[in-house]
């Protein structure tokens, strides 16, 4: 009997941790990072003391909640940097990161967040440094406009975060079109390739207007 008790306690603790992470992801994605920790504890079905025992600060909870998105973000950037054509690689990064962020509002806020004392949530520093190197290669190849600065990409992500739609699928379609517009704006000599299909947004004018 005494050998089973510690195992049960460990199992319960793991279940609590998983529930907290699930609740945090859901609330952060729906409402952003301003969700109170007590609300996360309530959604997870645990007491505040249990939440803080596992995650002493909101920063640590944010980092844990978006660990999967962090890995996806790094994979996207690595894929873009590995492309022998730096412009094509940069376009891929812009398109896929915009889509990743369109699917998860909380991850966008975490990526752009400057919470005091926060860890490198969402691999922000790694991502920006790698993209800066990729952008310089695209400039050297004559494909990226020479006055592009990294803050332009941050601006795109901030604008992409502002896309509101009735469903995730519509938001993703709108994000793809927005990324296409941004890419054309960044290109040194735009070829004006067809944009992705437009999304019907609630406040937009009728299609074709």
Q: What ranges do the domains of the chain cover? A: 4-65, 67-186
For residue 209, the model assigns a pLDDT of 42
The token duo for 158 is: 């901030």
For residue 114, the model assigns a pLDDT of 52
The Cα 173–Cα 127 span in angstroms is: 24
Neighbours of 50 (CB within 10 A): 18
Topology of domain 67-186 in CATH is Tetracycline Repressor; domain 2 (1.10.357)
Q: H-type helices in the chain, by residue range?
A: 4-31, 37-44, 48-54, 58-65, 67-82, 86-102, 105-112, 124-140, 150-161, 168-186
In DSSP notation, 47-97 reads: -HHHHHHH-SSHHHHHHHHTHHHHHHHHHHHHHHHHSSSHHHHHHHHHHHH
Integer CA distances (angstroms), 168 to 73, 105, 157, in order: 19, 10, 17
Q: Which of 97, 81, 70 is nearest to 137 (CA)?
A: 81
Contact 16, 54 (CB under 8 A): yes
Per-position pLDDT tens, the chain of length 209: 444 445 554 778 889 999 999 999 888 877 778 899 999 999 999 999 999 999 999 888 988 888 888 788 889 999 999 999 999 999 999 999 999 888 877 777 777 765 444 445 546 778 888 999 999 999 999 999 999 999 999 899 889 988 888 888 999 999 999 999 999 999 998 777 777 888 877 654 444 44
For residue 29, the model assigns a pLDDT of 77
Q: Domain 4-65: state its class.
A: mainly alpha
Q: What is the pTM of this model?
A: 0.74
Per CATH, 4-65 and 67-186 having the same topology is answered: yes
For residue 112, the model assigns a pLDDT of 72
The Cα 71–Cα 69 span in angstroms is: 5
Q: Which of 200, 184, 203 is nearest to 192 (CA)?
A: 184
């Amino acid at each position: 009997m005494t050998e089973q008790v510690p195992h049960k306690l460990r199992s319960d603790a793991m279940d609590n941790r998983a529930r907290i992470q699930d609740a945090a992801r859901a609330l952060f994605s729906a409402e952003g990072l301003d969700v109170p920790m007590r609300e996360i504890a309530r959604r997870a079905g645990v007491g505040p003391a249990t939440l803080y025992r596992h995650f002493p600060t909101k920063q640590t909870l944010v980092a844990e909640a978006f660990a999967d998105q962090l890995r996806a973000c790094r994979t996207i950037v690595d894929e873009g940097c590995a492309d022998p054509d730096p412009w094509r690689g940069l376009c891929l990064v812009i398109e896929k990161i915009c889509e990743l962020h369109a699917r998860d509002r909380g991850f966008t806020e975490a990526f752009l967040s400057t919470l005091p004392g926060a860890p490198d949530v969402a691999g922000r520093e790694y991502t920006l440094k790698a993209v800066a190197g990729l952008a310089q290669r695209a400039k050297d190849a004559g494909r990226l406009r020479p006055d592009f600065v990294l803050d332009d990409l941050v601006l795109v992500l901030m604008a992409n975060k502002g896309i509101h739609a009735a469903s995730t699928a519509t938001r993703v379609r709108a994000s793809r079109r927005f990324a296409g517009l941004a890419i054309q704006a960044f290109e040194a000599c735009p070829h004006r390739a067809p944009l992705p299909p437009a999304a019907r947004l609630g406040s937009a004018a009728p299609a074709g207007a």
